[in-house]
Amino acid sequence: METAHLWRGRVVCEPCRRRLADGPPVDAAPGPAVSGLALASLICGVCSYPCLCGSGVVNWLGLAIAAVAVILGALALRRIRREPDRFRGRGLALAGIVAGAAALALFGAVMSYIYSDL
């Protein structure tokens, strides 16, 4: 019966040193995962713009989504900074914060223009 073991990072047959499995070395550890909060922040930040173009309830929904994007981005940055070996995605979180903040600023500018005549 053939026995297998690691040799130079590969699984090989012990007597003949023939490779038994292809792919990356068996002892390779996976890297940190992309933070779900960072991804959600970016998605909310981008999705808030079409809602801001609506009127009435849809416009206020865009405001809420933009605020959620900023909050999720801040939480993601905090988690990524505290656990860099588990999470990555700082750029996604920053992009979500910027997109959400820009949407909030756009909402404020539009509302001040609309209600400036009152």
Q: Identify whether residues 61 and 22 lie together within a single domain.
A: no
- Condensed to tens digits (0 to 9), the pLDDT of residues 20-67 reads 655 555 555 678 999 999 999 999 999 998 888 777 778 889 999 999
Q: Is the dihedral of CA 98, 37, 70, 84 positive or negative?
A: negative
Check: CB of residue 38 under 8 Å from CB of residue 90: yes
Q: Identify whether residues 54 and 73 lie together within a single domain.
A: yes
Q: Identify whether residues 14 and 37 lie together within a single domain.
A: no
pLDDT of residue 1: 45
Q: Identify whether residues 44 and 67 lie together within a single domain.
A: yes
Q: Identify whether residues 107 and 92 lie together within a single domain.
A: yes
Q: Residue 12 sits in which domain range?
A: 1-30
Nearest alpha-carbon partner for 88 in 96, 77, 74: 77
Domain count, the chain: 2
Q: Identify whether residues 96 and 48 lie together within a single domain.
A: yes
Backbone angles phi, psi at 88, to 5 degrees: -135, 175
pLDDT of residue 71: 98
Query: Could you give the CA distance from residue 29 to residue 26 in angstroms, rounded to a whole number?
Result: 8
